[in-house]
Chain A
Amino acid sequence: MQLGKVVGNVVLNNKNETLSGVTLLLVQPISSAREPVGRVIVAADSVGAGVGEHVFFVRGKEASFPFAPVEVPTDAGIVGIVDRWDLG
């Protein structure tokens, strides 16, 4: 999983029907020093995250697991809202 910050959302009217009701958010992956890393991605949200929040997201097929038994065609999914992280 990776840390990220929600920076927006994506609205689609014409989409794969398995995506209906799925919230798609724009996520900027960040480092543990809160710096942006790489490009912004679109991720399916299953935890009710909002713009400005720090989250962690999973990549790959596992991103669709929260929506089971519906097989949502997503390759990235927000699976937690981060309260904080502590560096040792």
Chain B
Amino acid sequence: MQIARVIGTVVATQKHAKFEGAKLLLVQPIALDDSPRGTPLLAVDSVGAGVHEKVLIVIEGRAAGEALGRKGAPVDAAVIGIIDEVDVHE
């Protein structure tokens, strides 16, 4: 799993049927100091996350499909939690 920040939303009318009703978020993976890491990606939302929130994401097909709760969905990333706090002890 990775820590990311929600930076936007995506609107797509024409899409695979398994995405119907799913919310697509643009998320930017971030480091522990909140600096961006790599390119933003699209993740399906399973927890009602909003823009600016820090979230936990999975970038793996099976996990993302399970988060969405739909078998056979062509997804590879999902938001699976909204992060309240990260404590680093070092």
Contact = CB atoms under 8 A, between A and B. Distances in A.
User: Are A and B subunits of one complex?
Assistant: yes
Q: Chain A: interface secondary structure?
A: mixed
Interface of B: 6-16, 18-19, 24, 26, 39-43, 51-52, 60-61, 64-65, 72-77
A3 B42 contact: yes
Nearest to B15: A80
Nearest to A77: B74
Q: Chain B: interface secondary structure?
A: mixed
A31 to B, nearest CB: 6
Enumerate the 7 nearest inter-chain pairs by beta-carbon distance, A residue then B residue, closest first: A88-B51, A80-B15, A1-B42, A62-B61, A80-B12, A87-B8, A65-B74
Nearest to A2: B41
Given A31-B39, A65-B73, A82-B12, 19 more contacts: A2-B39, A3-B40, A32-B40, A46-B16, A47-B15, A56-B12, A58-B75, A58-B76, A66-B74, A79-B75, A80-B19, A81-B12, A82-B11, A85-B8, A85-B9, A85-B11, A86-B9, A87-B26, A88-B52
